[in-house]
Amino acid sequence: MGGRLGRAAGGSYRPGRPGRPGKRLKADPQLRAELELCERYGIPHSRFLGEDGRWSDLDRAKALAWQQWQRSVCPDCRTRLDEWDPATGGHQHAYVTDTVRCPGCELIAQERHQVPEGRAGYGVKITLLPRAAYEALRPEAPAASGR
């Protein structure tokens, strides 16, 4: 992975120097993917890299930089404002839309119409189960072909 966060975008990282970790996150999608996994599993980045796993100053700096990065991401479209802003190195057409139909989401939307309105429908959750798991849970359910 190269210099890790310790060598952020052409310089060396110094704890307490604001802005430095974010530059590395912006430039390094591999580091973003690694820190996302570290967050999910609650481990320091050094452990992910195969070291002893104690939280070092650098691990803490990376975790704080990741938290700051996550706060700058739109929760809906998952982009960041600076990606769109030419003044910050972005581009006004940084992304394009693409339409994809998910059969699972389509099935959930169809089933949602079967949920009663009002109190009878409160708390109803619609989930997807693999067919084999559903049939194992409900052996009386008829096996559907093609659905």
- Cβ atoms of residues 18 and 61 within 8 Å: no
Reply yes or no on whether the pLDDT at 63 is more than 70.
yes
The burial of 80, by beta-carbon neighbours within 10 Å (0-12 exposed, 13-18 middle, 19 or more buried), is given as middle
Amino acid residing at 42: G
Which is higher by pLDDT, 56 or 7? 56
Q: What digits encode the pLDDT tens for the residues 97-142?
A: 999 999 999 999 999 999 999 999 999 999 999 999 989 988 776 6
Average pLDDT, the chain: 83
Q: What digits encode the pLDDT tens for the residues 72-85?
A: 999 999 999 999 99
Q: Which residues have C-beta within 8 Å of that of residue 39, sequence separation ≥ 6?
A: 63, 66
d(CA 24, CA 4): 9
Q: 3-state class of 133 per DSSP?
A: helix
What integer pLDDT is reported at residue 5 of this predicted model? 40
Q: Which residues have C-beta within 8 Å of that of residue 11, sequence separation ≥ 6?
A: 20
Q: What digits encode the pLDDT tens for the residues 1-14?
A: 333 443 333 333 33
Reply yes or no on whether the pLDDT at 23 is more than 90.
no
> What phi and psi, each to the nearest 5 degrees, are found at residue 73?
-95, 135
